[in-house]
Amino acid sequence: MPLRVLLCGNRAWADAIVTAWGGVADQPLTIETLDRLGGEADDAQLTVQDFGSQVIEKLKVSDIAIVPCGLLPELATARAFTPLGTGFMDEAQLGGDAVLPVLREASMRWAGEAVGIPLGSVQPALLISGETDADTLEIPKTWEAFIETAQRFQATAQDGQPVVAEPLAGGAAAKMFLWRASDAAPAVWLFNRETFEPVLTDDVYVQTLETMRACAQLYGDQRLTAGEVWQRIASGQLKMALGWPGSSGNPPRVESLGDALVSPLPRAPQPATDHAAAAPRPLGVMADPDAPVALLSSRCRQTAAAKRFLIWLAGGEGSQMVREVAPNMTVLRTETAASPSGGGGYNEYLRTQLASLQLRPTLRLHRYDRYLAALDQQVLACLDGKVSPQEALAATTEAWHALTAEIGEKLQAQAWRQAQGLRN
């Protein structure tokens, strides 16, 4: 009897899992795909019924699900999965000491309980092509320096085409804004702790979007996906970019960065205080809200076989080939062995980021994808010059208000607390 797997991802990812698993196990798999981020899906009704409801329905006839961590609140409320528990995590050598802290809190645990196996999370980095003269280049540490460096690169571009970019297509604009805002160290992160009121109109968020707009003016009219940015840095078409691994080509694969430089994102200047020079602001690392987590369905028919598959997926023999077409499956643990290929220095940068103890809650909320979509729409409107940063974030706040009212403020506020480790 085959294991029934629900995969929130594309067909290439599913095919890679089937092929790799078939090389090490006799247990057959049947994989059904649903892709929130576009591409081919096995269910044409995905655009009719909301994403979370689709996943919940499919889990009723699945043994295992690989889902974005942002879906955990809806799946937990529907009791659609069975928590794996601390005992299993320890047996699988995936206990708290092994899993990188950001992954442990953002996708392995929900409401203080171990519920699934994390499969990784991308993080944005500053990428500089290996074809640049790295010996004479000062890596930009601030957004002002990034813009100045980008202008110099653009001035020497032979054909006038943009040679600097960041992912802004396919939902990436919202994520880039959130990651940039996280690095700006806001005093309150996204929602007021007491009232669950969005705080996106606070000055730090407005300034973040203003800076993002200034950067985007250097990218021309291009709106690239993460995979396109990664591929163009790898090939030398871009000289500098902000980005993370994404697949490109047909069949899709993650290109090797070669000798490209990988550094942390630039930051806004630190406010001048008596302690500023001695104590830099700590960075809060936010996991990708689409970071994949593997769960055991509450309707699982083959628990032992399913758990063997989950352990294998998180780093077993042959699972590396899956990571070559699934860039959101990344480094998981504190050791350096068996790092995913194709990322070069990015993998060690990512390991450092995900090892941070300064965590920023990602958007693990009911209908998280709609919160992201509302933000993405307004960020792009601002970058296109249609609205000001203040107007864009005020409109996002209104849209988030409406979503919260539709879902229920009490339920959503509870999810936000549970995303931060509280049980209720």
pLDDT one-digit tens code per residue, 215-226? 999 999 889 999
Q: Could you tell me the sign of the dihedral formed by the alpha carbons of 76, 226, 184, 200, in that order?
A: negative
SS3 state at 377: helix
pLDDT value of residue 321: 87
Distance CA 342, CA 323 (A): 9
* Domains of the chain, residue spans: 3-118+292-327, 121-289+353-424
pLDDT of residue 39: 43
pLDDT at 281 over 60: no
| Contact partners, residue 341, CB within 8 Å, separation at least 6 | 256, 320, 323, 324
Q: Which fold has domain 121-289+353-424?
A: D-Maltodextrin-Binding Protein; domain 2 (3.40.190)
Asked whether residue 390 carries a pLDDT value surpassing 80, the answer given is yes
Q: How many helices (H) and strands (E) does the chain have?
A: 15, 14
- For residue 66, the 8-state DSSP code is E
CB half-sphere exposure, 274, CA atoms < 13 A = 0
Amino acid (1-letter code) at residue 186? P
Q: Are 201 and 394 in contact (CB under 8 A)?
A: yes
User: Which residues lie across from 153 on neighbouring strands?
Assistant: none
Cα 375 to chain centroid distance, Å, stands at 15
Q: In whole angstroms, give the CA distance from residue 175 to residue 360.
A: 13
pLDDT value at residue 160: 76
Distance of CA 37 to the CA centre of its chain: 12
> By mean pLDDT, which of 40-44, 117-121, 182-186 is the weakest?
40-44
* Fold agreement between 3-118+292-327 and 121-289+353-424: yes
- Between CA 92 and CA 226 the distance in angstroms is 32
The sign of the CA dihedral 351, 352, 357, 358 is: negative
**Taking a C-beta distance cutoff of 8 angstroms, is the pair 162, 222 a contact?**
yes
Q: Does 99 score more than 60 pLDDT?
A: yes
| 3-118+292-327 CATH pick, 3.60.20.10, 3.40.120.10, 3.10.450.50, 3.40.190.10 | 3.40.190.10
Quickly state the pLDDT bin for 276 (edges 50, 70, 90).
Answer: very low
Instruction: Kindly state the tokens that stand for 351.
Output: 């390991």
Hey, which of 88-102, 150-164, 283-297 has the most confident mean pLDDT? 283-297
- DSSP-based three-state secondary structure for 340: coil
Under the banding of pLDDT at 50, 70 and 90, the label for residue 323 is: confident
For residue 274, the model assigns a pLDDT of 43
pLDDT, one tens digit per residue, over 8-35 is 999 999 999 999 999 999 999 999 999 8
Q: Are 419 and 365 in contact (CB under 8 A)?
A: yes
